Amino acid sequence: MTDRKRGRLGVAELAAATNTVVYAVTDGRDAVVKVFISNLATAAKQTLIDVAVVNGAIGALADEDYIIRGKELKLGEFLELEDLSLAADECIVVKSSVAGATVRVSGTEQDAASPGVHVQKLTSQSLAFGAFTDNENTTGYIDFTSGVLPAGAIVLGWKATVATGFTGDTSAAISVGIAGDLDAFSADTAMSVLAAATVGSAALAAAAGASLAAAATPRVTVTSGSAFADVEAGSMVVDIYYINTVLETVAETTYELSKVTSQNLAIANFTDNTGAATGYIDFIPQVPAGAIVLGWKATVSEGFGVLDTTAVMQVGIAGAVGSLTADATKSVAAAGVVGSAALAAGAADGIAAAFTPRVTVTGAADFTTIQNGAAGAMVVEIFYLLTA
């Protein structure tokens, strides 16, 4: 996970005619900042402001270092510069012709992105039903014309924003893949586009690297209930999210992995599913809308297996307790760290709306036995790609 520093990064009150380093990026990190300069000088009614971005020590500033030079600020006026991207060791240098001007640098500083760990997005053109090719059966398809997945891409999943439902038949389900492998990027092929909605799916694990060797054109397929020819309307836009493993082709806009962390999940706070081997507890924080879940990690500080050594856990939601758990055999009988990738079919449970994760512990026979052991505590972290 990225270590970030947000908010105020540097402040200074400027001496007259002096180059002042207001903020310098820490080695191994980068930053996006806003610079706010205010003329509060009392000795003069105006000042001339220079702003430069320098790599390393100030030294003698070259013309190419300046982003603003000789900007006049009258008494009480201010200057604001936004969205300045800085690399490691770069610094903001400001000079005022008179004393008393103040500078504030704010923004976000974070660990510099590592090569090959960039999550990017490919967005389709508007996919209107009239532009689909009818396969003269229950399916119709359309290819992206907005771009291709580059060589080296590993697809994580996709999101479809359906503006107009694909109506006219009794059902309409979407798959995203490529020619010859129509559900390559769709672990869940039951996502409905019959009505306006936001739906999505994680990639089919076996085919997520379909674009690793060569660029690939995504194909979107809609399957209707009886015949695709019955479809009378429909329009959507599909976003595909992927890891770009080739640094040279990384775009400026990337997406980051995020996480949500549970409260301490102690055995005393679990709900016993009476008469069953399971008990559960819900997260207090939610996974936000637009999330595609990749997996989870549980740090078990106190084992749940004092009286039942078969205690295992799952992470999911109410009604689908294992939806975020590909491996439902992870033991929490003893202290330790365990985890699982998300079950691909449930990874996009949060694509349309925020949801509350549920952690379920299963024993050998009756969950009461685990509760009677009066031991068990853990914290669970869920890792996800935020597409919103």
Q: Does residue 56 register a pLDDT over 50?
A: yes
Q: Is 229 helix (H, G, I), strand (E, B) or coil?
A: helix
Q: Does residue 2 register a pLDDT over 70?
A: no
List the CATH code of the domain at 257-386.
Answer: 2.60.120
160/348 Cα distance (integer angstroms)? 11
What CATH architecture applies to the domain 118-249? Sandwich (2.60)
Is residue 347 within 8 A of residue 383, CB to CB? The reply is no
11-25, 107-121, 132-146, 175-189, range with the lowest pLDDT? 107-121
Q: Does residue 126 register a pLDDT over 90?
A: yes
Under the banding of pLDDT at 50, 70 and 90, the label for residue 1 is: very low
Q: Is 269 helix (H, G, I), strand (E, B) or coil?
A: helix
Q: Name the percent of the chain lying above pLDDT 70.
A: 88
Under the banding of pLDDT at 50, 70 and 90, the label for residue 303 is: very high
- Mean pLDDT for 225-238 is 96
Domain boundary assignment for the chain = 4-111, 118-249, 257-386
Distances from the Cα of 385 to the Cα of 152, 230, 243, 331, angstroms: 19, 36, 11, 26
pLDDT of residue 115: 46
- Mean pLDDT for 339-368 is 83
Highest mean pLDDT (candidates 154-163, 270-279, 378-387): 270-279
Tokens at residue 346, please?
A: 């449930």
Is residue 318 within 8 A of residue 172, CB to CB? The reply is no
90/55 Cα distance (integer angstroms)? 4
pLDDT of residue 116: 42
Under the banding of pLDDT at 50, 70 and 90, the label for residue 64 is: confident
pTM for the whole structure: 0.59
pLDDT of residue 353: 85
Task: Judge if 118-249 and 257-386 fold alike in CATH terms.
Answer: yes
What CATH architecture applies to the domain 4-111? Sandwich (2.60)
pLDDT digits (tens, 9 = 90+) for 149-170: 988 788 888 999 999 999 999 9
pLDDT of residue 3: 61
pLDDT digits (tens, 9 = 90+) for 324-352: 888 889 999 999 999 887 876 666 666 77
Burial 43-63 (b: 16+ CB within 10 A, else e): eeeebebbbbbbeeeeeeeee
Q: Does residue 235 register a pLDDT over 90?
A: yes
pLDDT of residue 118: 66
